Structure 1
Amino acid sequence: MQQMTLQNIADQNDYVCFRIGEQDYCIDIEVVREIRGWTPATVLPHAPDHVTGVINLRGSVVAVVDLAARLAIGKTCPTPRHVVIIVALENQIVGLLADVVSDIMGIDEAAMQPVPDIAAEGAGAFITKVIALDDGRMLRKLDLAAVLPGKDQEAA
């Protein structure tokens, strides 16, 4: 067993890991405000396809982004088993619809590898790094700035 040193801990950041379909993703825990069960969203006319609608979060209206639709891997048909990950990026608070939160994991920055050039054209728009896990799975680190709706889409 590897002994954990203060240097090892300093090189790690914590990430919230979640699943969309059969794929594993993560985001920095620093941007996560809370994780809540699915609540039916109010649909907004003319909203982008990946915006499921809006929910009431303690008196604030928060847009919910269907990550599967946004990442072009299908549209989610939410059930009570789905989760909404509430994130804050700059001054924007948004809910991210995912199948399940699977883990909170400390990941060493050295374990993060760039998206291969041949795959980076499409995937690189939303994925910044790829992490190979010990169990054989691949974890994709999302670029929330690219995933979240732009200010021009919020008015939709």
Structure 2
Amino acid sequence: MAENSLEKDYLEEDTQHGRYLTFSLEEEVFGIEIKYVTEIIGMQSITKVPEVPPHIKGIINLRGKIIPVIDVRLQFGKEPVDYNDRTCIIVIDIDAVSVGLIVDNVEEVLNIDDEAISPPPSNKTGFENRFMKGIGKAGGKVQLLLDCERLLKSDEMEIVEELFEEK
């Protein structure tokens, strides 16, 4: 009986394996593992926080919970653009801390098999790939798969966590 229970728990946990929420920045499509995503919301009023890196846009109040938001375009070194009706905030949980990711447009949820994921380019090319988990191929397109746990450098994560410390 215990074996069946363990098998059932494993299968329930594994239902999200290989599922990625895809979003676009300009013409590029990125994917993040669905297991990190808690919700997708429209743009909100953002309260600016002094002395944080430019890509940390500030904080939002989401149903009484304060969440820092990061403009992924700026984090990836892209030109800033005005937000529009397609701009979304993807709320993710990283190590029990909620963070909002501002993206140009949410695309779809894709199933990408492990065999359809290539490792990111090597650092020998000088290409900064600390954000990338791999390159996925699905639906006739290529998706740059991001490593949610590496989206924030450790010093940036400290800034985000400090925003929530009780004073």
**Bucket of the pairwise TM-score, normalised by the shorter protein:** 0.7 to 0.9
SS of alignment partner, residue 152 of structure 1: helix
Listed as ranges, the matches of 1:31-50 within 5 Å are 31-50=36-55
Structure 1 outlier segments of 4+, above 6 Å: none
2:152 to 145, 148, 156: 148
Cα distance change of structure 1 residues 76 and 64 upon mapping to structure 2, 3 Å threshold? farther
Structure 2, gaps ≥5 residues long: 1-13
Using structure 2 for the length normalisation, give the TM-score: 0.79
Where does residue 89 of structure 1 map in the other structure?
94
Post-superposition Cα deviations, 1:70-96, rounded to whole Å, max 9, x if no partner, equal 111222432232000000111110000
SS of alignment partner, residue 72 of structure 1: coil
SS of alignment partner, residue 115 of structure 2: helix
Where does residue 133 of structure 2 map in the other structure?
128
Which segment drifts farther, 87-96 or 73-82? 73-82
Is the strand fraction higher in 1 or 2?
1
**Count of residue pairs brought into register by the alignment:** 147
CA distance in 2, matches of 1:74, 1:113: 28
Using structure 1 for the length normalisation, give the TM-score: 0.84
CA distance in 1, matches of 2:52, 2:127: 23
Decide which structure has the larger Cα Rg and report it. Answer: 2
Percent identity (aligned): 25
Cα distance change of structure 1 residues 91 and 107 upon mapping to structure 2, 3 Å threshold? same
Letter in 2 for 1:113: S
C-alpha deviation, 1:60, in angstroms: 0.8
Listed as ranges, the matches of 1:6-45 within 5 Å are 13-45=18-50
Cα distance change of structure 1 residues 88 and 99 upon mapping to structure 2, 3 Å threshold? same
Cα distance change of structure 1 residues 127 and 121 upon mapping to structure 2, 3 Å threshold? farther
C-alpha deviation, 1:27, in angstroms: 0.5
Q: Highest relative contact order (Cα 8 Å, sep 6+), 1 or 2?
A: 1
SS of alignment partner, residue 80 of structure 2: coil
Structure 1, gaps ≥5 residues long: 1-8
1:64 to 63, 66, 69: 69
